[in-house]
Amino acid sequence: MANLAENSIKLRNQDNLNTMSYYDDVSQTIGRTPLVKINRLNPYREVTILAKLEKANPGGSVKDRVAKYMIEDAEQKGIITEDTVIIEATSGNTGIGLAMMCAIKGYSCELVMPESMSIERRKIMEAYGAKVTLTSGDLGINGAQDYVRRKVSENPEKYYSPNQYDNPVNWQAHYETTALEILEDTAGHITHFVAGLGTSGTLMGVAKRLREEVPGIEIVSVEPESGQLIQGLKDLKTQYVPLIFNQAILDQRIYVDEFSAECATRGLAMDEGIFIGQSAGAAMVGALDIAREMHDEGRQNVVIVVLLADSGEKYISGSLFSTSETTESMAVKM
Ligand SMILES: Cc1ncc(COP(=O)(O)O)c(C=O)c1O
C-alpha cells in the first residue's frame, strides 16, 4: 500500500502543467449527458430505446441548459446588471438551474413556485442561496406566474424574469445542445424522439433541429391526463399555454396518468438501475407505447430516444418511492 501511495504522489508531481484538465466553473459541465440503452424494461427486443440521462447535469436536470442560456442571453443583451434580482416562476428544476447560475455569477435570485412542489426542491434552491416564495398549490403554476408578473410590473428596475414559458432562448438551448448531442450519439439513426412537456422548450428545440437533419423523424410529447399531477409536466388544457409552444411540431401527443408514471419511475430504478423523477417515468411510458405500436406494425430499425429530465433524489419525501404492492420488478424475463 505504501508503495502505491508513493507512486501516485510521484505521478501527480510529475504532471506536466500543459496537460492540466479542468472546467472554468461548474456551468461548463452542463450538457453532454449520456445516452443509455433500456434493456429489461423493454419487451420489444427489435425496437431500440435509448434514454438521455439529464440527471447528469450539475444541477441534476435538463433545465440547467436553459438556465445557463437565459442568464447569459440577458447578460449579452445588457438586460441585467449586478444589482438585478432574477425572479422566475418555476415548478422546480428551472429554479434550481437559475439558483446555481446566480450563485456562479453572483446575482440575487428569487424563485416562485406552487406549495405543492416537493420540499427537496425548495431546500436545494435555498442551499444555492436563492429566496423561495410559495404560491397556492390550488392555482398550480398559473398562480406562480401571476405573482412574478405582478412583482416585475411593480418594480421593473429591480427585477428581471427570464420567463422560460415565453422566452425563445429556452428552446434555442435545446436546438443548440440537446439535439446536437442526440444527433452525434445516434449518428442520425433515430426514428422517434419522446419527451415530457412542461414549458415545451425541450420538445420545440430538439424537434426543430431533428426535423432539419433526420427525414421522417417522429416527435412525441408526453403530457399529464387531465387532473393528474406529474411534477414538471403541464396540463395545457387547464394551465397557461407557453408562447413558445407550437402544436404543429408534434406528431403525436400521449397522455399519461400519475400511477403509470410512478410505476415506470420505480421500474427504471429497479430494473435498469436508473434513478429518476416522475416526469421521466411518464416519458418512459410514452416510449414504451411507441415501442409497442412499432412492434405491432412490424416496423424494423426503430430507434426511440427518450429524454429523462431529472433524478429521483428530489422526490424522496413523497410517496413515489415508498414501498407498496406496486413496488415490484416490471422487467421482462430475458
Ligand atoms: C422534471 C421535469 N420534467 C419535464 C419538464 C419539461 O421540460 P420542458 O419545460 O422543456 O417542456 C420539466 C420542466 O420544468 C421538468 O422539471
Here the cell at position 66 is: 436553459
Q: Establish whether residue 57 lines the binding site of ligand 1, counting it when its CB lies within 6 angstroms of any ligand atom.
A: no
3-state SS assignment for residue 57: coil
**Catalytic member of 61, 279, 311, 314:** 279
Is 26-59+168-315 in CATH node 3.30.70.20?
no
- Predicted TM-score (pTM) of the model is 0.91
- Please indicate whether residue 324 is annotated as part of the active site: no
Strand 192-196 versus strand 218-224 pairing type: parallel
Provide CATH code, domain 63-160.
Answer: 3.40.50.1100
Grid cell, residue 55, equals 440527471
DSSP secondary-structure letter at 34? -
Distance, CA 297 to ligand 1 centroid (Å)?
Answer: 31
How long a stretch of residues is the chain?
334
Write the CA distances from 134 to 114, 139, 222, 273, integer angstroms.
5, 11, 27, 33
197 within ligand 1 shell (Cβ under 6 A): yes
Active site residue 21: no
How many other C-beta atoms lie within 10 A of the C-beta of residue 271? 18
Q: Where are the domains of the chain?
A: 26-59+168-315, 63-160
Common-topology check for domains 26-59+168-315 and 63-160:
yes
**The three three-digit cell numbers of residue 71, written as one number:** 442568464
Alpha helices, H only, the chain: 2-14, 63-76, 93-105, 119-127, 140-154, 168-173, 179-186, 201-213, 258-272, 278-297
User: Pick from 69, 47, 43, 65: which is nearest to 56 by CA?
Assistant: 65
Residues 6 or more apart whose CB falls under 8 angstroms from that of 273 comprise none
Render each residue's pLDDT in the chain as its tens digit; 334 residues.
334 334 333 344 455 567 789 999 999 999 999 999 999 999 999 999 999 999 999 999 999 999 999 999 999 999 999 999 999 998 789 999 999 999 999 999 999 998 887 788 899 999 999 999 999 988 888 899 999 999 999 999 999 999 999 999 999 999 999 999 999 999 999 999 999 999 999 999 999 999 999 999 999 999 999 999 898 898 898 888 999 999 999 999 999 999 999 999 999 999 999 999 999 999 999 999 999 999 999 999 999 999 999 999 988 887 777 755 455 677 765 4
How many angstroms does the Cα of residue 284 sit away from the middle of ligand 1? 14
